[in-house]
Structure 1
Amino acid sequence: MNKFLQEVLDGLNAQPKHLHSKYFYDEIGDRLFQQIMASDEYYPTDCEMEIFKNQTAQLAKTLKNGFDSFDLVELGAGDATKSSYLLKQLVADKVDFDYFPIDISTNTIKHLEENLPKEIKGLKVCGFNGEYFEMLEKTRQFSDKRKVVLFLGSNIGNMPVADAFDFAKTLRKSLSKTDLILVGIDLKKHPRVIRAAYNDAKGYTKKFNLNLLRRINNELEADFNIEDFEHYPSYDPITGSCKSYLISLKKQTVRIGEADFIDFEENEPILMEISQKYSVKETDEMASQAGFKPVKHFFDDKNWFLDAVWECK
């Protein structure tokens, strides 16, 4: 049984039902996510981009941290749009560094290796295709230089709080003393702003969530009726937990493949995605508990987003 099928069945047979948001990103999902990021309501990408555009020199100086050379490792590099500002600054500053993008997409790594050195003259790129921690260990085997790790886009918010703390602890164990990480974190703010970001007026987020059911239909031979599910976002301003659900609009049974049947009650939810928001104090606590020392905070003009620099103690 392939991993996608196994994780879909495990999630839909669990209580409460859930699906893994990492499976949102097929070709259609990628296109919808680009539309979400370009929507008026979705602020995280613009906020972090503002930090990288307007505070590039300070970012570069902080990450260099007095060392002559290092490896810059990016977890989930994607198209490197934000990090390219930092890369250009480091090259302009004549810093001795190599860029190691890590991504689960083979095409992404190939694209970065082929195109970034053309766009940024003098940049040395060596990509690693696979899961974060396995590839991070490969970078350590490949080079014994000090590591500076980028984990942008509030990806750490795509986990429940306990899992995020565990992730930070595992990341610390994968690094050495004086290594740095720069982690992008979406901050708590007015609930109305957050709710709107995950429920845009043009319905891209709704389509993005429902597209996973279409993907399951197409790739796993399921028979979800998309019209029988409704997108529902929620945000708890006390805990900072922002969640997206698909709600079953009636009592129904869905077939997946030839032999698996999933029963839904009317109004039963499927948890689709978590987008956790933090206070600055909570991010400092996460760093300290994981074995890091908070070094510097970079904010956008609205103080809606934080790029935090943590040093390995």
Structure 2
Amino acid sequence: MLLQTTSNTLIDLSRKTDGSQDRAAFAKDVAEGLSQHPKKLSSRYFYDATGSRLFQEIMALPEYYLTRAEFSLIRQHRSAMAKAFAAGGFFHLVDLGAGDAMKTKLLLQELVSQEKPFDYVPMDISGAAMKELSKNLQQEHPDMHVQAVVAEYVTGLQWLEQHLTERKVVLFLGSNIGNFEREEGLEFVSQIRQHLHPGDLFLLGVDLSKDPDTILAAYNDASGITAAFNLNLLDRINRELGGNFDLDAFKHFALYDPQLGVMKSFLVSQRAQEVYLEATQTRYTFAAWEAVHTENSHKYTLQQAKEMGSTAGFELVTSYLDAEGHFADMLFKAV
């Protein structure tokens, strides 16, 4: 589907369903995860309406440094970034997982101020987010050409290669690369490279290794918002899959392994219990203090991130860091 205003286009490549297929996939993933030893649940299901609202609260917490750190580094280095992006002339600024583009808007304003020749291609699985972003940018920058793409990453990257022939600058901001396992992260960066041409640029957001206490606090805040965010996954299973999880019988538990550079989150059963899922018509047994893994968040050193980019077919151009050295946006060039 293609919708167009004066300077905005919305390209919808998402898989249309009546919702039953999504529910079936959710049920299948939950059933498989709870049948494993040890048990696990996928973090991809954190973000229903309640989960998204809670995550907005998390980003505002004093302990959650990640969003503030990247925002501050972009604000500090945006002029240099804009010049580096535009050094080769016109380009498509492709924003993977754009969401509300809060941080990207700093770059857009800078590119407009410097009168650089570009168009903006935000990409996200949320059609509502892309419609809202397109509407906002139409008001804020009426002369900017925006092609918003509603798609999963792989589908969107394929469309990108087929339809955008000019030079590209791809953004993958936030700490999204950390949500992948190490091998999966390398595979994803390699996929991005496969859809680019030599000379195209890639800006990768990386949460850096730092004081373990700082990292742990960001995922285990004193006010309990992160715990509520994690427990909401069980509430969503209850609502959408007919589960009967007793949320009071589980607790959020987080730990950081500084050797592996990975932050891990769990839901721990505080007593022996049995949970029934109407969607699968199956009962799942939990031992007292049995843990269900819900999320990993990987942290990188600058050298580790550089090596990942190099292995994927990129050459590091430069790294932009915030003042405290907590976060980096690393600029790579496809070779």
Q: Structure 2 length as normaliser, TM-score?
A: 0.91
Question: Which residue of 2 is the match for residue 250 of structure 1?
Answer: 271
Q: Assess if the C-alpha contact under 8 Å between 1:228 and 1:249 holds in 2.
A: yes
Q: Which runs of 5+ in 1 are unaligned?
A: none
Alignment partner of 1:285 out of 302, 307, 311: 307
Question: Which residue of 1 is the match for residue 147 of structure 2?
Answer: 126
Question: Which residue of 2 is the match for residue 141 of structure 1?
Answer: 162
Alignment partner of 1:111 out of 117, 125, 132: 132
1:174–1:12 Cα change, 3 Å:
farther
Shift of 1:147: 1.3
In the alignment, is residue 74 of structure 1 matched against residue 95 of structure 2?
yes
Shift of 1:137: 1.4
Shift of 1:270: 1.1
In the alignment, is residue 221 of structure 1 matched against residue 238 of structure 2?
no
Q: Assess if the C-alpha contact under 8 Å between 2:157 and 2:192 holds in 1.
A: no
Aligned-pair identity in percent equals 42
Shift of 1:106: 0.9
Q: Assess if the C-alpha contact under 8 Å between 1:169 and 1:290 holds in 2.
A: yes
SS in 2 for 1:275: strand
SS in 2 for 1:18: coil
SS in 2 for 1:52: helix
Question: Which residue of 1 is the match for residue 17 of structure 2?
Answer: none
RMSD between superposed Cα atoms in Å? 1.2
Shift of 1:140: 2.3
Spell out, residue by residue over 1:274-293, the C-alpha distance to the aligned partner (whole angstroms, 9 max, x if none).
Answer: 11111111111111111111
Shift of 1:69: 0.7
Alignment partner of 2:208 out of 187, 190, 193: 187
Question: Which residue of 2 is the match for residue 13 of structure 1?
Answer: 35
Q: Assess if the C-alpha contact under 8 Å between 1:223 and 1:256 holds in 2.
A: yes
> Distance between the aligned counterparts of 1:70 and 1:261, measured in 2?
54
Please tell me the residue identity of whatever aligns with 1:239.
Answer: L
Please tell me the residue identity of whatever aligns with 1:63.
Answer: F
Shift of 1:175: 1.6
> Distance between the aligned counterparts of 2:261 and 2:80, measured in 1?
29
Shift of 1:112: 1.1
Alignment partner of 1:233 out of 254, 258, 264: 254
Q: Assess if the C-alpha contact under 8 Å between 1:133 and 1:174 holds in 2.
A: no
Q: Assess if the C-alpha contact under 8 Å between 2:160 and 2:195 holds in 1.
A: no
> Distance between the aligned counterparts of 1:9 and 1:180, measured in 2?
41
Please tell me the residue identity of whatever aligns with 1:214.
Answer: D
Q: Assess if the C-alpha contact under 8 Å between 1:195 and 1:234 holds in 2.
A: yes
Q: Assess if the C-alpha contact under 8 Å between 2:82 and 2:110 holds in 1.
A: yes
Please tell me the residue identity of whatever aligns with 2:184.
Answer: D
The 4+ residue runs of structure 1 with deviation greater than 4 A are none
Aligned residues: 312
Shift of 1:304: 0.5
